[in-house]
Chain A
Amino acid sequence: MRLNLESHLNFDETMKFIVCVKQVPDTTEVKIDPETNTLIREGVPSILNPFDQFALEEAIKIRQEGDEIIVISMGPPQAKKALLKCLALGADKAILLSDRAFAGADTWATSYTLTQCIKKIGDFNIIFCGLQAIDGDTAQVGPEIAAQLGIPQVTHCESVEKLEDKKLTAKVQTDDGYKIVETRLPVLITGITPSFFEPTNPPMMSIMKANKKPFSTWGAEELGGSKDNYGLNGSLTEVIKVYSPPAREQGVVIKEETAETAVQKLIDLLSKDKVI
């Protein structure tokens, strides 16, 4: 039986965690090709999606001796860099899903590809995903993987509180606070990065060992499944237009000595703009 994490006691069953990660452009000012409506990646430095690093670090946090963490990512060959960082952070094994057949995938085709990979890996206990990727911001791939695998999902998870008796208890963020969710395993959880989270910088020793850990690259042949479900062919959606929304104007902060004068100032401002 696996025991309460807080007790840090031993357990008699090892677990396998799969963490889905993505390499994303390191910029908030995403450039878009007006012809193809896709992201221009050339010349833009790439990083491990910060939300995915939080998911990986949650997996590392709850890992106990004997557990295995496998990171998987769909992307071009250059995405190896993001996976190497995951290995340096503490993952045990990495699989890059890279094939021309995967190009142009929407979230559904992406989740299909990742699902095929997870099926090929075989047994697992928990799948970790970040909330969303900072380039597309869809937050769809994690939940779609759970749907395709037919397993429960817990979204907006801030932390795994307990893991025992093949059950997971998670602290989940809601609009107005938190709720504690209990679920059976296997399960997919998507993390929501709390404001206090400080991403770990991999130490030199771990970086030097990362390239020595198992690393595989799988294409459509290795994954099997229907080729019609991969990439552009398997995409259920089509991007009509991608654009950067105009930056929001800076708000007004009212700082007055008393609540009464602050409210009066707010009323004056709203009246002036004919809001009230």
Chain B
Amino acid sequence: MSIKFSEEDEMIRESVREFAQSKIAPIALKMEETKEIPRDIVKGMAELGLMTCTADEKYGGPGLSAVSAGVIAEELAKADCTGSTCVYYLVPASWGFLLNKYGTEEAKQEIFPKTVSGEWFLGIATTESDAGSDVGATKTTIKPDGDGFVVNGEKMYISGVREAVTHGGGHITIAHQTPERGTRGMTTFYLPLTAEGITPTYINDLGREGISCGGFSINNVRIPKHYILGEENKGFYILHEGYEYARALISVICASAGLKSLENGMNYIKERKSFGKPLAEYQEINFRLAEHYTKLNMLRDLGYKALKTIDLEQEGKVSRFETSNIVAQAKMFCSDWACKAINDVMQWQGAFGYSRECLDQAAWRAVRSFSLAEGTKEVMKMIVARELLGKKQY
């Protein structure tokens, strides 16, 4: 086996599995009807230490490594076919990592106790109507004003808007501070969604319906200076560390959701007979099973390799470029491979596979989003190609 988990990781897996299978799995589909994750589930996740699990102990978090965070993501993905709790977990974990690393002491003391307790949501908001993976095309601006800053612009297709507006919290975001310097003039900061000047809007997503998706306009929103992450005008570079953390977690989530779906499919094809024999005896089906299983295990290994690389980078043993490259490899096909596997499981189950009662259709809709979220697969290819060919080519 290529992945070596620590004793702590094994305990984390057991503890999260028990919680997720007993509390989340039974109500997973229900979350899509109510369009929310019940607050008692959020409370349970927080009590277990899952919310912003990357925050240091001094801020109330367990300060988990990226690999440990991946173990949690894997278990949530097995239990929650809708992916809602996976997103509710992975976003604060990833952007909490960035806040923990680059946030000011004052911001961390203010924000983390509220997010660790599950009261506040910590999200990421970089996408705009005309700027997705191309973060440099962002139109939102941030300008120094007195002892703080003023922000103007809009963000779209953002997870957890309703949660932050309703329960408190905010999103890590980016804006141009010195537009003439392009990406070298962008600043990353924390934007509370309860601030005056924020007007939310909501969007109906195809999947992961337990967590809201929306956008918000930002009109002359004032933020204090201590909400800036890292140095002013250098936000573009640090932002990618948050993205990479999320991308690596997403690759493990996709592998886990796909493997769970294959498990559902295996149970079905061993039992269901057609033309006198179980579906599992048809080569058309069992060859596909073997291929999907192999690919998803490769993906799982690569996802954990990416997470381990992030941990090694924090120890100064790996360069930024190496991390970007490996994470991009792990993220590139994660949604495609998991979607194809789950799509086949839906096909094996016939008409039931197309019904809302089927867990796998919810998993397919959730996993489909990860081809876009936190960087499209096309951008992942750009990153890997750039590393292979050298930046001078571009």
Contact = CB atoms under 8 A, between A and B. Distances in A.
Interface string A181-206: 00000000000000000010111110
B211 to A, nearest CB: 21
B49 A203 contact: yes
A84 interface: yes
A207 B18 contact: no
B382 interface: no
A248 to B, nearest CB: 24
Interface in A200-231: 201-205, 207-208, 210-211
Interface band, chain B: 20 to 34
Contacts of B18: 199, 201
A58 B289 CA distance: 47
A210 B47 contact: no
A201 B16 contact: yes
A80 B11 CA distance: 12
Contacts of B64: 204, 208
A264 B63 CA distance: 66
Contacts, number: 52
A88 interface: yes
Interface residues of A, number: 16
B29 interface: no
Nearest to A198: B22
What DSSP secondary structure best describes chain B's contact surface?
helix
A85 interface: yes
B7 A201 contact: no
B10 A81 contact: yes
Interface string B10-26: 11101110110000000
Contact of A208 (B10, B47, B50, B63): B63
Interface string A35-73: 000000000000100000000000000000000000000
Contacts of A208: 8, 57, 62-64
Contact of A204 (B7, B10, B53): B53
A207 B62 contact: yes
A80 B7 CA distance: 9
Provide the main secondary structure of the chain A interface. helix
A205 B8 contact: no
A201 B48 contact: yes
A204 B14 contact: no
Contacts of B50: 204
A85 B62 CA distance: 16
B57 A205 contact: yes
A210 B8 CA distance: 8
Q: Which 4 A-B pairs have the closest CB atoms?
A: A204-B49, A204-B62, A201-B15, A203-B49
Interface of A: 47, 80-81, 84-85, 88, 199, 201-205, 207-208, 210-211
28 contacts: A47-B14, A80-B7, A81-B7, A81-B10, A84-B7, A84-B11, A85-B14, A88-B15, A201-B15, A201-B18, A201-B48, A202-B11, A202-B15, A203-B15, A203-B47, A203-B48, A204-B15, A204-B48, A204-B49, A204-B64, A204-B72, A205-B61, A205-B62, A207-B8, A208-B62, A208-B63, A208-B64, A211-B7
Given A204-B64, A205-B62, A207-B8, 20 more contacts: A81-B11, A88-B15, A199-B18, A201-B15, A202-B11, A203-B15, A203-B49, A203-B62, A204-B48, A204-B49, A204-B53, A204-B62, A204-B72, A205-B49, A205-B61, A207-B11, A207-B15, A208-B62, A208-B63, A210-B8
